[in-house]
Amino acid sequence: MLNKKTAVITGASSGIGRAIANSLAKDGMHVYITGRNNEKLELVRSQIENSGGSVSASAFDIRDINKLQDFIKRAKEETGRLDVMVNNAGLHIHGKIAETDPESWREMIDVNILALLAGSQSAIHAMRQNSENGGGNIINISSGNAKEPGKDFYSSTKHMVNSLCEALTQELADEPIQITNIMPGAVATNFGRSADPAMIQGLASKLGINAEIKKGQHLSDELLNRIHSAMEQIFLSPEDIANAVVYALKQPKNVVMREMYMCAPKVYLGKDFSF
């Protein structure tokens, strides 16, 4: 169902975005991937190509809306179509509102909300030009925290993502462009790199892992895999989210996955361990 089609994935240099890109490429899609870290993005590109997949990569800051929309247009122009847009890029800067630098709010708004809006807008325009009366799928990676908008500022931005998904669903009700909102709970990714290093190091120590963690540092794949393996009842893996994306895309045309909330067995709403 996905072979020879085209997808754009943001935030694809690591974690959930990387897993989604790999999964869609394995299903025969030409994936256009973007992220801020060129070195990590090139590693993902190499992984996909070495596995026989088709991929195009471009590193830039997703807050540059013009670059984002140009990238989406490029995918449509080069392949003649755009079938899937995955708005995956997200930013979580930890801290209480009363103590946080206001610039961090702007960063989260720009990445979590404005980039998603700009990506969706450009994708809609491209999908309307697809053959066979147009159409496609826009998949937004929100967060389980969106169900608790009062938890912190990040959760509030993801609550707005949920609202935007509903708005897009209603706006596109008469068009063959489907909106799917996926809300993962705790996932073992580098998304927690902006958290207190002591918290992450404490978690590693409890698992018998000796690791020195610095704020902003990307955790190794080995450490993330060990965390997930030791605590799979609490943490989902990036591949779990990628599987959900593929599942949503492979539904027959008369079935639309509007919303998916995912969490590990020992995590439930109100008791989520954010990482």
Residue range 231-242, pLDDT digits in tens: 566 678 899 999
Confidence category of residue 275, pLDDT binned at 50, 70, 90? very low
Which residues pair with residue 187 across a beta bridge?
236
Question: Taking the chain, what is the end-to-end CA distance rounded to the nearest angstrom?
Answer: 34
Return the percentage of the chain with pLDDT > 90, whole number.
67
Confidence category of residue 244, pLDDT binned at 50, 70, 90? very high
* 30-35 and 54-59 beta bridge pairing: parallel
Note whether 45 and 31 are within 8 A (CB).
no
Confidence category of residue 167, pLDDT binned at 50, 70, 90? very high
pLDDT at 247: 97
pLDDT digits 0-9 by tens, 78-100:
999 999 999 999 998 888 899 99
CA distance 262 to 79: 33
pLDDT at 270: 46
Average pLDDT over residues 145-160: 91
User: Exposure of 11 by Cβ count < 10 A (0-12 exposed, 13-18 middle, 19+ buried)?
Assistant: buried
Q: Which residues are catalytic?
A: 154
Q: Tell me: pLDDT of 251 over 50.
A: yes
CA distance 1 to 29: 10
Can you list the domains of the chain with their CATH numbers?
A: 6-187+236-262 (3.40.50.720), 189-233 (no CATH)
pTM (predicted TM-score): 0.84
Q: Return the CA Rg of the chain.
A: 18
Average pLDDT over residues 215-230: 61
Strand-by-strand arrangement of the 54-59 sheet: 54-59, 30-35, 6-9, 84-87, 136-141, 177-184, 259-262
**Residue that the structure tokens 């992450």 belong to:** 200
Report the mean per-residue pLDDT for the chain.
87
